[in-house]
Amino acid sequence: MAYKKHSLIFGLSVVILFTMGCVLLRSLTSEATDTLTETPEVCITECEEVLCPEVVCLPDETALVIDPNEPKMIVGGFDYTNDFYPEGYARVYAVGLFDMTGFLLRDNDWVIPVESQVLGYLDLDAENNSATYQLSLPAEPQGTSHLFGEAQAGGVQIFAIEFAPNWTGGPFYVDNDEYQGWPGYLASVVTDRDNQSEVIGGKLIIWAKDDQQMFPSGYGEDGLLFTDDDPLMAVPKGYAVIDLDSDPFAVIRQPVPEVILLEPQDAAVKDFSAMSYTEAFNNMFDILSLQYAFNGIDGKQPDWDSLYATVYPMLEAAEANRNAYAYYLVLREFALAFNDGHVGVSGGDLEGRWVQENMLGGYGMAIRELDDGMVLVVYILEGGPAQLAGIQRGAEIVSLRGLPVGEAISQTQPYSPQSTDFGLRYEQTVFVMRDAMGASMEVSYINPGQSGVVTVELDSMIEFDSLWATYLGGEFDEYVLPIEYKVLQPEGIGYVKVNSNSDDLNLGYTIFERAMEQFNEADVRGVILDLRRNFGGTPYNLAGYLTDQEISMGILKYYNENTGTFEPRGDDEPTIYTPMVTTYSFPSLILLVDQFCYSACELESYALSQVPGMVVMGYNPTAGVEAETARGKFDLPGGISFSAPTGRFELEDGSVLLEGVGVVPDIRLSITAESVLSGEDLVLQRAVQRILTGN
């Protein structure tokens, strides 16, 4: 049997070789045309066992037709200015040939079938913000066919090429990672984000079943592609690239055409760095005053006219004096006018100078404010100014710089804007202890076990240990996996720490899935999900592993230049987190949050909080810093960059999701002397207690 199998394989190989020989001979002796008009004969063998004594040439109707001009492979590349998406979340990259049926149907929920997806190799050069790719086309693609004009059969399959990082699971979009809608980011097509993501340019790749097919040659009077008024043209059999920027559309037939992928204009960094100080600011201001995510929201929208009147004269002075540092300082003031933790300015060396002048000096101690208003010393640097003056860990601070400590904190400028009152207060408590090098500060305190107030004068020194003791919740290990897990023993409780939503997402998914599988096998008594001190990125939808119900995440809206209002891009349906293919159920579920869970971490936490039976626990809500920021990045003169959100999530009742509020704990623990001084994780202990006792 094995011998006959090998004989058959050998015979088929000979058939293929003879066939290729005949076709090659015919193509070499015939003049190449766009489409071969003569059908070559095909040579096969009549085989018996391993012997093939005779070659037979069959009639034309069985012949193989090869068009030398038909695309066989597509090559190209892309450049990008905004590295938020290309570099942020994946370690494995590709490009994909994706079916555009979703666009033709105007159906944002249309799922691109896995069998139609074709992947190609991509080489990403992060250092130069560019990439190159090559994509081999299958002999016959498996996309959806569409008929145009008088065609009655066959049809045309329509594709676009798009950057396709592997965020989760295998390389294709399937199961937990379905692709809905149509390409539009770093894609071969250009879409209009202000008009339902209509395709308005770029290139499509089509495949026609035969030479009897028609395809649009223009947008028609309505300016929309794939509508009834589109003019039509005949297209050749097989593959072709359609250039939508030509009038009429051009049909490109080359064996290896080049197709460049395009960064959407609205997602690109707005580069005003070559302009004057005032011109760059005015351009940015004009955009933000219309597109800032929270325009129209009470307590969030700046008073644009008043703000401009305040900062513009200072900008003019900085420009007149050619003073880049003064320009940076004005932009800092502009940023701090927002009650929004997503607004920020980065100044490179200019920012470094500001740090040297304002916060290089520390006093060797860090403080925390309790719920009752008392302020305690939680960190003392050995050999630092505070220790040498006799201040002890646990001391109560009575006054700073001659002011009651609460008032001194209130007068402190934060390092960066904050979205919530509790976020601002914490930031002020951190930076009230920072100063210029060589500065001095009067401190009045009461050491533990003592009753008398002691007042000392401290001189600052260059040290950052006291800053890192409390900034962003204190020191943390950066060199960890994006998600870690274990079974707490002897309690038998599953514990998952979600360290990051901006690391390798595929790795994160893999670890979380394994955690759920092993917790299920171990029959744990409950699961604790810890999202504290997670600075954001993009959501995993971990909730999808823990419920079979859909979770509504609100509607993401942007300013629409055509209508002058904030509207969704696409349909007005809410974003839905769907259940994963495999879901898990546990007796108890507890979510741990804090004010250092930012942005995408908050979306993650919100979705988890909607899982039936989930109990949210913590000292504070999440940061309340939630918006879409990728489209609000600006490069300004002097090496300065500025960022602000331009998209906001609204719930169905019109309220803003999470921004300024965060995910609020069901069980809020009090911030007491024990919680800031014990060195123990009292929140985790309380979560374990609840699972074990039910209260």
pLDDT in tens, 509-562: 999 999 999 999 999 999 999 999 999 999 999 999 999 999 999 999 999 988
**What is the model's pLDDT at position 671?**
98
Is 62 or 522 the better-scoring residue by pLDDT?
Answer: 522
Q: How far is CA 124 from the centre of its chain?
A: 17
Looking at the predicted structure, is the pLDDT value of residue 17 above 90?
no
User: pLDDT of 296-345, one tens digit each?
Assistant: 999 999 999 999 999 999 999 999 999 999 999 999 999 999 999 999 99
Closest by CA to 344, choosing from 599, 569, 593, is 599
Local confidence band at 152 (pLDDT 50, 70, 90 cut-offs): confident
Indicate the helix (H) or strand (E) that contains 156: strand 156-163
Q: What does the alpha-carbon distance between residue 290 and residue 302 come to, in Å, rounded to a whole number? A: 12
**Mean pLDDT throughout 88-93?**
84
Helical spans, DSSP H, in 240-348: 277-291, 304-320, 324-336
Helical spans, DSSP H, in 432-556: 465-468, 505-522
Local confidence band at 405 (pLDDT 50, 70, 90 cut-offs): very high
Closest by CA to 248, choosing from 269, 263, 233, is 233
**What is the model's pLDDT at position 308?**
98
Average confidence score pLDDT of the chain? 90
**What is the model's pLDDT at position 587?**
97
Per the rule left: phi > 0, alpha: psi between -120 and 50, beta: everything else, 462 is beta
Question: Collapsing DSSP states into helix, strand and coil, what is residue 62?
Answer: helix
**What is the model's pLDDT at position 65?**
57
Measured CA to CA in angstroms, residue 340 lies from 68, 293, 417 at distances of 58, 10, 6
Q: Which residue has the tokens 């089509």?
A: 206
Q: How far is CA 389 from the centre of its chain?
A: 48
Q: Where in the chain is the domain with CATH 3.90.226.10?
A: 483-693
Looking at the predicted structure, is the pLDDT value of residue 280 above 50?
yes
Q: What does the alpha-carbon distance between residue 407 and residue 412 come to, in Å, rounded to a whole number? A: 9
User: pLDDT of 493-506, one tens digit each?
Assistant: 999 999 999 988 99
Q: What does the alpha-carbon distance between residue 545 and residue 555 come to, in Å, rounded to a whole number? A: 22
User: pLDDT of 383-392, one tens digit each?
Assistant: 999 999 999 9
Q: Which two tokens stand for residue 196?
A: 């339902």
Half-sphere exposure of 76 (CA within 13 A, CB side): 26
User: pLDDT above 90 covers what percent of the chain?
Assistant: 80
- How long is the chain? 695
Residue 359 and residue 435 in contact, taking contact as beta carbons nearer than 8 Å: yes
Local confidence band at 63 (pLDDT 50, 70, 90 cut-offs): very low
pTM: 0.86
Question: Collapsing DSSP states into helix, strand and coil, what is residue 10?
Answer: helix
**What is the model's pLDDT at position 8?**
27
Q: What does the alpha-carbon distance between residue 531 and residue 596 come to, in Å, rounded to a whole number? A: 9
**Mean pLDDT throughout 160-177?**
87
Pairing relation of β-strands 396-400 and 403-404? antiparallel
Q: Which two tokens stand for residue 423?
A: 């976020």
User: pLDDT of 324-337, one tens digit each?
Assistant: 999 999 999 999 99
Looking at the predicted structure, is the pLDDT value of residue 570 above 80?
no
Q: Report whether CATH 3.90.226.10 matches the domain 483-693.
A: yes
**What is the model's pLDDT at position 15?**
32
515: number of Cβ within 10 Å: 23
Looking at the predicted structure, is the pLDDT value of residue 217 above 70?
yes
**Mean pLDDT throughout 239-251?**
97
**Mean pLDDT throughout 172-181?**
83
Residues with Cβ within 8 Å of residue 446, at least 6 apart in sequence: 395, 396, 398, 452, 453, 454
User: pLDDT of 657-681, one tens digit each?
Assistant: 999 999 999 999 999 999 999 999 9
Residues with Cβ within 8 Å of residue 416, at least 6 apart in sequence: 335, 336, 341, 344, 427
Backbone φ, ψ for residue 469 (5° rounding): -65, -30
| Domain covering 361-473 in this structure, CATH number | 2.30.42.10
**What is the model's pLDDT at position 92?**
87
Q: Where in the chain is the domain with CATH 2.30.42.10?
A: 361-473
Local confidence band at 81 (pLDDT 50, 70, 90 cut-offs): very high
